[in-house]
Amino acid sequence: MRVHFAIAVVLGAALITATPGLAHHSNVAFEVTKVVTITGVVKAFEWRNPHTWVILTVDDGKGGKVDWGIEGRAPGVLLRAGWTKNSLQTGEMITVDMSPAKDGSKTGLVARVTKADGTILPNAGPAQQ
Amino acid sequence: MSTPRYVVSMLCLIAFTCAALHAQSTPPDFSGVYYPINPFGAAALGRGAPPADAKGKQKGPPPRPTQSAPLSDGSQGRSPDAPSLTPAYMAKWEIIRKSRMAGSSEYDNTAKCLPPGMPAMMSMAYGMEVMQNKDKITFFSELNDALRRVYLDGRKPTQKILDDPTYAGYSTGHWEGDTLVVDTVALHEASFIEGFSPHSDAMTVKERIRFLSPGLLEDRIAVTDPKALTKPWETVKTYRRATSGNDELREFACAEGLGDAK
């Protein structure tokens, strides 16, 4: 019983550290008119509603690494913009244009993703005019 | 014995008149999947296609996006075409605005996986599916899997319905030529008119829905609320019917990520 509890604590801690800021936010949590660019390695890509998530491991500029949690549009919207559930693979290098969170946490809102080969994954497909 | 010519003429005339009357009484079929025209505002998102030159040829990479989403926290003030609120409801809006500017989802129902409610749900930002038969037309929104039914069989809201308000409200409709006229009542106060402005339980919505051209659907929406609005608020939504290959909406299981929404 005690062992099980210990394992649960370890697993729980691992989950928490693996998913920084993986709470669901409204767009109002981000500075949507500001876009910054970060490049890093995909640690996880969560294809789920109401928002997708990219967990990105980025150099912190001090010789270390830091994880960013970047919230993206819903799977339905991204499918129509050309994404799939397998668009991002763990371990691949990507560049993300994103709006930073108002609270200064290491989270952002995706504006677009650019893969290493230059492929652009946008937030929306061509205008339906 | 051959049929006299005038009898044939009479029969033809009757058949023609009946066909014409039938055509007039058959309402258009709105069924299908639609996407709103420019749901997020053209400038708001980094779209996939690079800019085209004068000949329509695409050149270079698409420009870097300058926004990730439309600005919707109220920091830009109130749009001139926003609902005209009474002082009491303007005071409520100021509270909501402060909360949103601080980054809180407290007043954002869709962020909490709640239905957007009428008339906000008719923005249909993620796409809409219309299902129609003689007695009922159903509007489904991919965003938050929200649904509303419009009864066309002549029924009217009962007192029991009026005493039990909901997000989508209770809608009844009838055809005026090719236009579907819909009245919505029994809307509770927990939603926002266009997603931001508060309203009272006295709000009612009238819509006129028609095809502008084949596949191009228009919804003219008029909102009345004697407690919250100084005058009726009117807005127009336009949707284009999806083409083959783009005509399936996806499941929106909002609670998947509800977790600790904040």
Cβ distance B103 to A125 less than 8 Å, yes or no, reads: no
Using one digit for the tens of pLDDT, what is the confidence trace for B131-170?
999 999 999 999 999 999 999 999 999 999 999 999 999 9
Residues from chain B contacting residue A80 (CB–CB below 8 Å): 127, 246
CA distance B73 to A30: 9
| Stretch A26-33: mean pLDDT | 93
Nearest CA-CA distance, residue A11 and chain B, Å? 18
pLDDT (0 to 100) of residue A25: 77
* pLDDT tens, residue by residue, B189-213: 999 999 999 999 999 999 999 999 9
Q: Are the CB atoms for A79 and A32 separated by under 8 Å? A: no
From CA A47, how far away is CA A34, in angstroms rounded? Answer: 25
Instruction: Determine contact, residues A15/A66, Cβ cutoff 8 Å.
Output: no
Q: Which residue has the tokens 């809409």?
A: B128
Element (H, E) at A42: strand A36-46
Chain B interface, mutation test: which of A38, A98, A128, A129, most B Cβ atoms within 10 Å? A128
Is pLDDT larger for residue A79 or for residue A16?
A79
3-class DSSP assignment, residue B34: strand
> Which of B103, B142, B260 is closest, CB to CB, to A76?
B142
Q: Kindly list the domain boundaries of chain B, sorted by start residue.
A: 84-243
User: Given this model, what pLDDT does residue B43 score?
Assistant: 40
- Say yes or no for a CB contact (<8 Å) between B67 and A102: no
Residue A17 has a pLDDT of 43
What does the pLDDT look like over B110-126, one tens digit per residue? 888 999 999 999 999 99
Of A35, A82, A108, the CB nearest to B65: A35
Categorize the per-residue pLDDT at B102 as very low, low, confident or very high, splitting at 50, 70 and 90. Answer: very high
Topology annotation, domain A2-122:
OB fold (Dihydrolipoamide Acetyltransferase, E2P) (2.40.50)
Higher-confidence position of B178 and A14: B178
Per-residue pLDDT tens digits for B45-97:
544 455 555 555 556 777 899 999 988 899 989 989 999 999 999 999 999 99
State chain A's mean pLDDT as an integer. Answer: 85
Reported pTM = 0.83
The residue written with tokens 């995706």 in the block is A110
Chains A and B: how many Cβ contacts under 8 Å?
A: 153
- Give the pairing of strands B146-151 and B170-176: parallel
Choose, out of B35, B37, B38, B68, the residue to mutate when testing the contact with A (most A CBs < 10 Å): B68
* Residue B42 in this model has a pLDDT that exceeds 50: no
Above pLDDT 90, what percent of chain A? 74
pLDDT above 70 as % of chain B: 81
Q: Shortest CA distance to A21 belongs to which of A66, A63, A82, A60?
A: A66
Alpha-carbon gap, residue A48 to A63, rounded angstroms: 33
Contact B252 A25 (CB under 8 A): no
Fold category of B84-243 in CATH: Lipocalin (2.40.128)
Domain locations in chain A? 2-122
